[in-house]
Amino acid sequence: MSGEQDIRRSLVNHAPLRRRPHVMLRRMIDWLPPDTPLWGDDAPVAQLERRVADLLGKPKALFFPTGTMAQQVALRIHAERTGRRAFVAHPQNHLDLWEQHGYAAVHGLRFLAAGDRNRLLTLDDLAAVGEQVSALLIELPQREIGGLLPTWDDLVAQVEWAHDLGAAAHLDGARLWEAQPYYDRPHAGIAALFDTVYVSLYKGLEGVRGAVLAGAEDVVGEAAVWRRRLGGAIPDAWPLAVAALIGLDEQLGRMPAFRDHAVEVAGAITADGVATVLPDPPQTPMFHVHLPVSPDAAKRARDDMIEAHGVQVFSYAASQPRPDRSAFELSIGENAMDFTPDEVAALIRELVKRAERDEGGAV
């Protein structure tokens, strides 16, 4: 059975390679001025909050230990301000899929799904909702459908729909850093559409963990109260903030290169013909690879490849409506930049071959 220590190269952005405590601490020590204070205006958390507020063009930004906490708090505030308990979003959003329905269990909110789970939200989908909502939640890119992005005009129209109804617009910007090159506008230009914006510190930025919520002074002030109530006001969150500041210095400018590499890698996979990609071509550094084998066989082939040559192809294989199909998310970051597009295509070919052999199918 292969383990973390066996991974020598990886296509996975979250692979331990660049994230092991010793590697991370070394980068932090090399980056951090020795006289950095622990708390206060010049401490890492305050620096990070100012920097993200500036980048997003918002009056205030607040560190949160997780995006899960930050977004639930944002939606709760929008609900209390509008006196409406329901928010509307794409059927496959992070809050409904991956957070044990915290928005309902903890905050008493209701989720209204709009549109088709396998395609982007449209204005017609929103118009069909027919209920008063507190907020429209938009995820850029829409992760579960491969990291698709709406056109700028669609985005503007959807946010206008919310505002016309007296609802707020909230951005799940877990991958806003990765989405920005597609729109070719400053981060602040995208964030300006939204009343509240959450960004992640550990996906494209390759930090440790953590999130930032940005918005108007009073909204973020209220979010700080909720952060304390929920146990998220960690005074010494500096290691997470330092890792994120390094990410802003070193990774943010790399997003166009990551996206370009994603397009080339996806092209090589498609040309090889063994697997398909979604979207084709990718719009961000993230896309999905669809395999003609079951998730279990794909996972066993992944583990065999780690054992055989220390290369990790993916971390998680999702099931598909057809049991003999699976898909995984590929996020191009520093780890994946280490592979040429042809090398990635060859790895996927090997993975599928191993999985087919394992399933007793054609080789």
The residue from 12, 49, 61, 67 that contacts ligand PLP (CB under 6 A) is: 67
Residue 206 interacts with ligand PLP (CB under 6 A)?
no
Choose the binding region for ligand PLP from 64-72, 159-167, 288-296, 344-352 (rule: CB under 6 A): 64-72
Cβ within 8 Å of residue 261, ≥6 positions away: 285, 332, 336, 337, 341
Q: What is the dihedral of CA 319, 325, 328, 330, to 10 degrees?
A: -160
x/- mask, ligand PLP, residues 222-261, rule CB under 6 A, reads ----------------------------------------
Given the DSSP bridges, would you call strands 326-331 and 286-291 parallel, antiparallel or unpaired? antiparallel
Interface residue with ligand PLP among 66, 92, 276, 315 (CB under 6 A) is 66
276: Cα separation from own chain's centroid:
22
CA 45, CA 58: separation in Å to the nearest integer?
Answer: 17
Q: How many helices (H) and strands (E) does the chain have?
A: 15, 13
Question: What is the C-alpha end-to-end distance of the chain, expressed in Å?
Answer: 24
Segment interacting with ligand PLP, rule: CB under 6 A, options 1-9, 63-71, 82-90, 302-310: 63-71
- Contact (Cβ atoms closer than 8 angstroms) between residue 148 and residue 286: no
Give min distance, CB of 200 to ligand PLP, in A. Answer: 6
Q: From the CB of 363, what's the least distance to ligand PLP, in Å?
A: 36
Scanning 65-73, 105-113, 163-171, 220-228 for contacts with ligand PLP by CB under 6 A, the matching segment is 65-73
Q: Which residues contact 83 (CB under 8 A, 6 or more apart)?
A: none
Q: Is 90 in the site for ligand PLP (CB under 6 A)?
A: no
Show Cβ contacts of residue 285 under 8 Å, excluding neighbours closer than 6 positions: 178, 204, 255, 258, 259, 261, 262, 331, 332, 333
If you search the block for the tokens 């990790």, which residue do you land on? Answer: 312
Angstrom distance (rounded) from CA 117 to CA 243? 34
Residue in 120, 133, 174, 179 binding ligand PLP, rule: CB under 6 A: 174
> Segment near ligand PLP (CB under 6 A), from 61-69, 150-158, 215-223, 320-328?
61-69
Q: Whole-number minimum distance, CB 179 to ligand PLP, in Å?
A: 11
CB of 139 to ligand PLP, least distance (A): 5
Q: Please name every residue paired with 278 in a beta bridge, in sequence order, or none if there are none.
A: 288
Nearest approach in angstroms of CB 339 to ligand PLP is: 23
The smaller minimum CB distance to ligand PLP, of residues 85 and 94, is found at: 94
Where in 175-204 is the site for ligand PLP (CB under 6 A)? 200
Distance in Å, CB of 172 to ligand PLP, minimum: 5
Chain centroid offset of residue 321 CA:
24
Matching residue, tokens 């269990």: 105
Nearer to ligand PLP, 286 or 311 (CB): 286
Q: Which residue is nearest to ligand PLP (CB)?
A: 67
Q: Which residues in the 139-168 window bind ligand PLP by CB under 6 A?
A: 139, 143
| C-alpha–C-alpha distance, residues 156 and 291, integer Å | 35
Q: Which residue has the tokens 């390094």?
A: 246
Among 58, 60, 94, 170, binds ligand PLP (CB under 6 A): 94
Binding residues vs ligand PLP (CB under 6 A)? 66-68, 94, 139, 143, 172, 174, 200, 211
